[in-house]
Chain A
């Protein structure tokens, strides 16, 4: 017994202690074998792609690395600070001191901007903007004053669409760099004028299509570039929404009134607002200010607001330019009239509230909203020189997610939730892989998701995954969630610092976006096909006059 009471570790004990160590060895070996197998399967699929053609310049614009330092502060002015403009301010680093860091901006680089000027037609927006700037911003009530007097190097324009071109042109002529929200302009004429002004002034321009920064398009562009889909002949894109705010019936604040109102709040410069439309003498209607997207005087409805999101992405991924022809149709089938309500005590009720609370009554200060722009809209664009058709369809009375799909003769790519590439059942390129079972037809052949990897990882075997479908708001960089608006603003500011005009969505891309969108508006209003004449740089149609009458003339007709 005394012998066995030896201190220390005997051989039996050691064996029992280390008994499970071989399991770790078995683990390492299994993982190695699996890695080899996955590698082989993945390589087989990817080897079928062509060499990168390098013909899409948009690929090079991604993940731009600034060369200059960021030591000098750039002075920014904000013109138009409603919902979107306020969001811009946050993404530039200007939010009220008592608020937490906004989502998607937790670890982002400081853009080193100073907000020196803010301009808006609605007084509460100005107050909020000054609070965001933490007091550094000076208030200007006309954009002309801001451009003439303010100490700004660059301006961000997030006004209603009708003011985009006039203000951007004036800013360029004043030598200020310009970031303007989409749609770039309200009309075809303005698109030409703005393009000329920006090119002449040589300022750095960015159009607000922040969706371009979503990292799923890295993969989409690679898939297209390497020819995994074969000849892409059809692209479908959609907008589905089903709420009053989705149909641009935003809330009307409790206190609102023109500067020359007989009584009540006098906080809205209606005269200046309406002066920038073809109908400067229209009487005050709060619907036309707070729900401007519903009216031709200020916007273009579905084509300028939502079609452009889809088309701009497709243009970037496919490098298409302006289509040769366009046919559009649509109508007001659902939001024919919209009433604005308040509680029994007179407090505004938000537009999306359903059901209305007991005792709710119609607001006497807000007339019934009767939109002019369609709430159901479809467009067919053709690029005969690329043997390609793009079809867009939108409804504001259904929320089913339909996404964006590219159809090629070898495969199909769905960029709705990430990037999913399906082999076509009749594909010749993947025929052997389909026969051998390495590629299945009922699930994506290749799937790109944000769950793992430095943003995107190509997963060729079915693994459990969770997706975050927030393309317009956030994307992932280095595994971290980042606001795409921030990235887009950073792209612009970096280009200002480098004096580099090739921003992510530069004036040429902006011009293409505007013309493509407005071709559909013209087609809708004229009821005929519209065409782009690249030689003479003109939009033409098979009928005359009605577009001009609506967009430049008097009453709206649909």
Chain B
């Protein structure tokens, strides 16, 4: 039987409610990633090229560099297709949770800088009003929270791999 005290050490002493909402946050972020990845997998021949090409703002140079190198575009496509799906599944199932959380945070950071809600940056249309803080940033912070509170150990497949 897996050692509860080991888990308690790793995750700290939290109430049931605290653990529950931590878990809920993990599952919702996971679902979000899984659906985004799924949609791209299902539409045959999807490529990030169009999006990369239209990036505005101070970090546009990064994406311009990417789009001028075919292998980088291929890599971006693979990340979007498989990476998003894998991160989503891992977060939902609580499998390699910390790695999934780091990857999620990294991707969200890329999304954030590709469309940064800074003053004077003409960002791509979407709903809501944002100034420096937008939903990507909020989700990015949430992913970091997931990283430091390893909920996969509580309700998730990671539990099966806890050493005694």
Chain A contact residues, CB within 8 Å of chain B: 4-6, 8-10, 12-13, 16-21, 23-24, 27, 31, 100-101, 103, 106-107, 450-455, 457, 464, 466-468, 476, 478-481
Cross-chain contact B2 with A479 (CB below 8 angstroms): no
Q: Which of B27, B50, B126, B155 contacts A450 (CB 8 A)?
A: B50
Listed residue (B45, B94, B156) with the most chain A CB atoms within 10 angstroms of its CB: B45
- Residues of chain B lying within 8 A (CB to CB) of residue A31: 35, 38
Cross-chain contact A13 with B47 (CB below 8 angstroms): no
- Residues of chain A lying within 8 A (CB to CB) of residue B30: 23
Chosen A-B contacts, 22 in total, with CB atoms closer than 8 Å, are A4-B1, A5-B1, A6-B1, A8-B1, A12-B1, A13-B160, A17-B157, A18-B157, A20-B23, A20-B93, A20-B156, A24-B93, A27-B35, A27-B92, A101-B70, A107-B70, A451-B51, A452-B43, A457-B43, A468-B54, A479-B45, A480-B49
Cross-chain contact A10 with B1 (CB below 8 angstroms): yes
Q: How many A-B residue pairs have CB under 8 A?
A: 94
Cross-chain contact A451 with B93 (CB below 8 angstroms): no
Smallest CB separation, B87 vs chain A (Å): 14
Separation of A122 and B52 alpha carbons in the complex (Å): 39
B143 within 8 A of A: no
Listed residue (B1, B51, B125, B126) with the most chain A CB atoms within 10 angstroms of its CB: B1
Cross-chain contact A479 with B49 (CB below 8 angstroms): yes
- Residues of chain B lying within 8 A (CB to CB) of residue A103: 68
Which residue of A is nearest B39, CB measured?
A: A452
Separation of A452 and B94 alpha carbons in the complex (Å): 30
Within 8 A of A (CB), among B37-64: 38, 40, 43-47, 49-51, 53-54
Cross-chain contact B93 with A21 (CB below 8 angstroms): yes
Cross-chain contact A13 with B159 (CB below 8 angstroms): yes
Chain B contact residues, CB within 8 Å of chain A: 1-2, 23, 27, 30-31, 34-35, 38, 40, 43-47, 49-51, 53-54, 68, 70, 77, 89, 92-94, 124-126, 154-157, 159-160
With contacts A21-B93, A24-B89, A106-B70 taken as known, whether A466 is within 8 angstroms of B50 at the C-beta atoms is: yes
Separation of A21 and B125 alpha carbons in the complex (Å): 35
Q: Which of A9, A13, A453 contacts B46 (CB 8 A)?
A: A453
With contacts A4-B1, A467-B54 taken as known, whether A455 is within 8 angstroms of B155 at the C-beta atoms is: no
Q: Which of A6, A20, A464 contacts B155 (CB 8 A)?
A: A20
With contacts A13-B2, A23-B27 taken as known, whether A453 is within 8 angstroms of B45 at the C-beta atoms is: yes
The 6 A-B pairs of least Cβ separation, nearest first, read: A479-B45, A479-B47, A454-B45, A106-B70, A452-B43, A19-B155
Cross-chain contact A9 with B2 (CB below 8 angstroms): yes
Which residue of B is nearest A21, CB measured?
A: B93
Cross-chain contact B160 with A27 (CB below 8 angstroms): no
Smallest CB separation, B93 vs chain A (Å): 6
Smallest CB separation, B44 vs chain A (Å): 6
Cross-chain contact A452 with B93 (CB below 8 angstroms): no
Separation of A452 and B35 alpha carbons in the complex (Å): 15
With contacts A5-B1, A468-B53 taken as known, whether A17 is within 8 angstroms of B126 at the C-beta atoms is: no
Cross-chain contact B154 with A16 (CB below 8 angstroms): yes
- Residues of chain A lying within 8 A (CB to CB) of residue B54: 466-468
